[in-house]
Amino acid sequence: MACTGADSNASLFFDTPITPVNNAYKFFIANVDFSYTATDVKSFFAQFGAVNYVKLVPHHSNNGWENNAGKQKHKGYGFLFMLDAMGTEVLEKYANAFPDNKIEMLGRKGVLVRRQEGMGPSNGHQPSGYGGRANNAGVNRNNGQNWQQQQQQH
C-alpha cells in the first residue's frame, strides 16, 4: 500500500534537520537505490559522524508521488548535510579514497558521494519541503566562495 500525504513523503524523501542546515557541510549523493529512504541513508552515513539532514529528490511522475506499481520513489539522487566540520571532513576523505567518489552503500556499488564546493552557509534557513529549491535559493556559487574566503581571513 502506498503512503499518501506530506508526512508519509517526508519519511521517505527527507527527514527533519537537527539544527539549521549549513551548506558548508553539504554533499551530493547519486545512484541511490530507489528502495532506500532518507532514514536508511542517514543511518548509513552516521558511521562517519552526525548527520543533520537528508533529502532525496522525489520522482513526480504518473500519479503524483507514485509509480505504476503504486509505490513512491525518488529520482535516485539527493543531498546529505553533515552536522559539523569533523563529520564532513571524515566523510569527504572516505569518499575521495574511491575512484570517482563512488562508494558502496548498503550493498549497492557505485553510489556517488561528492562534497558541494563553494556553497557557504545557509544563513540559518530551514530546508524547504520536497520539490523546492531547498535552502540555497538566492545563494550562488560566487557568493559561497567569497564567504569561504572571508572565513579563512578571520
Position 143 confidence tier, pLDDT thresholds 50, 70, 90: very low
Give the pairing of strands 74-82 and 51-58: antiparallel
Q: Would you tell me the crossing angle of helices 6-13 and 38-45 to the nearest 10 degrees?
A: 30
Q: What is the pLDDT of residues 78-137, one digit of tens each?
A: 999 999 999 999 999 999 999 999 999 999 999 999 998 755 555 454 454 433 334 443
- Indicate whether 71 pLDDT > 80: no
Q: Quote the pLDDT of residue 26.
A: 97
Q: Is 135 left (phi over 0), alpha (psi -120 to 50) or beta?
A: alpha
Q: What is the pLDDT of residues 90-106, one digit of tens each?
A: 999 999 999 999 999 99
Q: What is the pLDDT of residues 31-44, one digit of tens each?
A: 999 999 999 999 99
